[in-house]
Amino acid sequence: MIPLLAMLLQNGDLLIADFEGKDYGAWKATGAAFGAGPAPGTLPNQMAVEGFLGKGLVNSYLGGDAATGTLTSPPFKIERAAINFLIGGGEHPGETCLNLLLDGKVIRTSTGRDAERLEAESWDVAEFLGRTVALEIVDTHKGGWGHVNVDQIVQSDKALKSGPAARDVEITGRYLHLPVRTKAPKRRMKVLLGGTVVREFEIELADEKPEFWAFLEVGAWKGKTLRLEAPGAGLEAVTQGDAIRGEEPAQRPAFHFTSRRGWLNDPNGLVYHKGEWHLYYQHNPYGWNWGNMHWGHAVSKDLLRWEELPIALYPPRFGDWAFSGSAVVDAANTSGWKSGDDDVLVGAFTSTGRGECVIYSNDRGRTWKEYEGNPVVKHRGRDPKLIWHAPTKRWVMAVYNEDEGKRRIAFHSSPDLKAWTFHSFLDGYFECPDLFELPLDGDRSKTKWVLYAADGKFQLGAFDGQVFTPEGPKQTVWHGHFYAAQTYDNAPDGRRIQIGWAQNANFPGLPFNQQMTIPVELTLRSTDEGPRVFVWPVKEVETLRGGGASGRSSGPRRPGQTPFASTDTERGDFRFKLETGPVERFEFDVRGVPVVYDVAKAELSCKGKSAPLKPIKGEIQLRILVDRGSIEVFGNEGRVALSVGGILPKRTFALTAVASKDYSATIEHDEFK
Ligand code: FRU
């Protein structure tokens, strides 16, 4: 590969501007967008600007996205066949652009591609040799994301390869294999069928050795020719086949959900239907980091063993991403969308380009159709959670709203999932609401409503279908790597089952990133502090036992004696009842990661994350679930839970205690298959 700098400064090139000075020199600025001189790279509140040369560049974000202006060069003579430059920013022709002017008329123009990264571009200007021209950098774009980044403008005898590289591929397999190298320049990739863009996304396309192969589902186009477009050399390496490419990594979590490739965050559309637990999820299929939001899809019969299905929601166009949402079974067909024998599933998600949108599926959640009246709610907000409110016979949408600069949950209702009426706000909650009812101590005649937000904080209260009335303080059960949880619609036997995103459980070096937490069942119990929510791993976890070593032991332990030592435990379920009185602290070595219960502080901690946990009657109970990429600790039957994720370095599990005299311990462990 030729380094960019060498490509840009070839022998005989004439530099027009490199924007390395304190001011613009002889260039003239109008308006506020360009400030008094070049920007020193990325500006405050701006996403990282990359791909410019040296220290400075033209960056019209200087005045914020709203400011406008122009920056015009002094006249110069065209002395070479090409003008080469770097450009990034908004793709708004005529509004965020670099223009070449001849006698005041625009004869060449270019924009960025809606990315902060500057890409090399070239104009063929041979026909204007000897003419006097000027350059004009423009930002007249108002409203929304739109500014222009320009750097390193040179006259050259040699045009840079301009425009996107393209490749035509006749489709014979289910998947195109795309080479990815995290931190390679982000490229905008387009896939066209007969001239129409059918997919468009950003990808860190590997020009050299890929770190992993992402896949693009193309089975629907077998026998057709797709045109792939992306700058750089990465397209050359694209292959195709009926299976995804690359070895299955040995470190992939065994009973926690991870995506085969790419990034995941929030669980979406959790719904039980015809024996299947559906797990849709925020997904970047083409990269290890967040981006290109799609809804991935997996199903399971037991919440632990997942089968990945084709992507459920593709963004309709670049920039209109499918953000979080939910799904329900419309058993009474209130929507009228049922077309077969099965109940119709209805989902709601945030289209970042449109608003809250409704979709439905008549093929067991495999494919979804959009309601033609979308969006059904338009506001500054996201993450619609649908529920059926039986007393008022209405659907309710609890959705995050930030109109008027507030962070709050909005409640809307609908008879048919199409026409929605706004009712009320509840202030002080951020993102991904969940709303559900729990029986107190199992008594279905005594229930409380729960309003849950992304950070795991929730509120008990009353809900009449329109207004949520809080009762008591905000509570938290989950601590550590846990975010944007959601509970299942239509779970059998009145179970309330929740899955969260183990946020920041990073898997460096693997072809996927992030995982879901273990599914838990929620219950509401009376405690001496009032009604409290408890979380407990679903009973299906017990089906994983019996594959490896197991043991039960009970009785007094001496100070200095190791209460529990196991040398080789990749995954399993460990349960402890420990007398705390004579003990300062319990220290677990969970696959090389210390988990500590500090008796004086009444606190459980791991990797800088902690959860308060008071002994009850001189004893604490801990249940630890260990997988290849996570530790989850449940304290006192699920009064608190602590989630910590990431690759675990060792295959060991042990417990030591710092104690002054004998204490009693009951220990049960079951390694998993
Ligand atoms: C929460 C969240 C949601 C949004 C989604 C985008 O993690 O920011 O609010 O819908 O992720 O991926």
> Is the pLDDT assigned to residue 559 strictly greater than 80?
yes
Spell out where 488-557 has E strands. Answer: 497-502, 512-513, 515-516, 520-527, 530-537, 545-557
Which atom belonging to ligand 1 lies closest to the Cα atom of 325?
10
Give CA–CA dist 46/65, Å, rounded: 10
Q: Which of 259, 265, 321 to mutate to test the pocket of ligand 1 (most atoms within 8 A of CB)?
A: 265
Token pair belonging to 392: 């008022």
Q: How far is the CA of 646 from the centre of ligand 1 (A)?
A: 21
Q: How far is the CA of 387 from the centre of ligand 1 (A)?
A: 19
> Is the pLDDT assigned to residue 8 strictly greater than 60?
no
Which atom belonging to ligand 1 lies closest to the Cα atom of 432?
9
Q: C-alpha distances in angstroms, 389 versus 74, 413, 465, 656? A: 68, 9, 6, 50
Q: How confident is the model at residue 196 (pLDDT cuts 50, 70, 90)?
A: very high
Note the maximum CA span of the chain: 96
Q: Does the CB atom of residue 356 touch ligand 1 within 6 A?
A: no
**Marked catalytic residue, from 266, 434, 627, 670:** 266
Q: Does the CB atom of residue 350 touch ligand 1 within 6 A?
A: yes
DSSP track, 223-264: TSEEEEE-SSSGGGG-EEESS--SPPPTTS-SSS---SSEEE
Confidence at residue 164, expressed as pLDDT on a 0 to 100 scale: 65
User: Which residue in 615, 638, 625, 642 sits closest to 590, CA to CA?
Assistant: 625
Q: Tally helices (H) and strands (E) across the chain.
A: 1, 53
Cis amide bond preceding 375, omega within 30: yes
> Is the pLDDT assigned to residue 664 strictly greater than 70?
yes
Whether 65 is catalytic is no
Token pair belonging to 505: 């459980």
Q: CB of 265 within 8 A of CB of 284? A: no
Q: Which of 323, 326, 380, 409 to mutate to test the pocket of ligand 1 (most atoms within 8 A of CB)?
A: 323
Q: How confident is the model at residue 5 (pLDDT cuts 50, 70, 90)?
A: very low
Which one has a higher pLDDT value, 121 or 475?
A: 475
Which atom belonging to ligand 1 lies closest to the Cα atom of 503?
7
Confidence at residue 6, expressed as pLDDT on a 0 to 100 scale: 41
User: Which residue in 361, 392, 180 sits closest to 287, CA to CA?
Assistant: 180
DSSP 39: B
Give CA–CA dist 167/182, Å, rounded: 23
Q: Does the CB atom of residue 431 touch ligand 1 within 6 A?
A: yes
- Ligand 1, atom 6: closest residue by C-alpha: 323
What letter represents residue 21's amino acid? Answer: G
Mean of pLDDT over the chain: 94
> Is the pLDDT assigned to residue 216 strictly greater than 90?
yes
pTM greater than 0.85 (yes/no): no
Q: Which of 324, 356, 483 to mutate to test the pocket of ligand 1 (most atoms within 8 A of CB)?
A: 324
What are the tens digits of pLDDT across the range 64-93? 778 899 999 999 999 999 999 999 999 899
What are the tens digits of pLDDT across the range 228-247? 999 877 898 999 999 999 99
Give CA–CA dist 619/576, Å, rounded: 10
Q: Which of 382, 499, 503 to mutate to test the pocket of ligand 1 (most atoms within 8 A of CB)?
A: 382
Q: Does the CB atom of residue 121 touch ligand 1 within 6 A?
A: no
Residue 29: CA count within 13 A, CB half-sphere: 20
Q: CB of 74 within 8 A of CB of 119? A: no
Confidence at residue 567, expressed as pLDDT on a 0 to 100 scale: 76
Q: Does the CB atom of residue 573 touch ligand 1 within 6 A?
A: no
What are the tens digits of pLDDT across the range 373-416? 999 999 999 999 999 999 999 999 999 999 999 999 999 999 99
Q: CB of 61 within 8 A of CB of 146? A: no
Q: Does the CB atom of residue 484 touch ligand 1 within 6 A?
A: yes
Q: How confident is the model at residue 612 (pLDDT cuts 50, 70, 90)?
A: very high
Sign of torsion over alpha carbons 301, 260, 269, 626: positive
> Is the pLDDT assigned to residue 307 strictly greater than 50?
yes
What letter represents residue 249's amino acid? Answer: P
Q: C-alpha distances in angstroms, 303 versus 250, 257, 626? A: 21, 9, 16
Q: What angle do CA 318, 514, 116 make, to 5 degrees?
A: 35
Q: CB of 478 within 8 A of CB of 518? A: no
> Is the pLDDT assigned to residue 4 strictly greater than 90?
no
Q: What percent of the chain has pLDDT over 70?
A: 97
What are the tens digits of pLDDT across the range 154-178? 999 887 654 568 999 999 999 999 9
Average pLDDT over residues 620-634: 97
Confidence at residue 63, expressed as pLDDT on a 0 to 100 scale: 65
Q: How far is the CA of 358 from the centre of ligand 1 (A)?
A: 17
Cis amide bond preceding 164, omega within 30: no
Which atom belonging to ligand 1 lies closest to the Cα atom of 501?
7
Q: Does the CB atom of residue 624 touch ligand 1 within 6 A?
A: no
SS3 221: helix
- Ligand 1, atom 8: closest residue by C-alpha: 431
Q: Does the CB atom of residue 459 touch ligand 1 within 6 A?
A: no
> Is the pLDDT assigned to residue 3 strictly greater than 70?
no
What are the tens digits of pLDDT across the range 317-363? 999 999 999 999 999 999 999 999 999 999 999 999 999 999 999 99
Q: Does the CB atom of residue 358 touch ligand 1 within 6 A?
A: no
